[in-house]
Amino acid sequence: MSNKKITPEDVGRELGLSAATVRRKMEDGSLPIGDVETDGERKSYIIYPKPLYDVTGIKLNGYEPPGEIKDYKALAECIIVDLSRVATEMAKYYSKKNKEKERLNR
């Protein structure tokens, strides 16, 4: 994923709008794709890839929406298997550490 900042100009190009229109819509809330921060007279427009996609369908900056989960039971079973594997590995690790500690304390 690219770390390039998404600008109102980028969004405007995709939507066929001017950057000024994108800024105005972000300010009035009709284009909720990020934050408008004010520092005195200066405004900064922070545009986030996920809300941009959710609101407009535009994918910029390498953003890909997450895949749809179709089988929650299968997902849960995979998670259980992974957690069991991790728990087993941790038990082996700490068992080994305890044996080493006992050996050193003799």
Given a cut of 70, the residues of the chain with pLDDT beneath it are 1-3
pLDDT of the residue at 26 = 98
Q: According to the model, what pLDDT value does residue 2 have? A: 59
Distance CA 11, CA 15 (A): 6
Q: For residue 48, give every residue at least 6 positions away whose Cβ sits within 8 Å of its Cβ, in sequence order, or none.
A: 6, 33, 34
For 28, half-sphere exposure in the C-beta direction (CA atoms, 13 angstrom radius) is 6
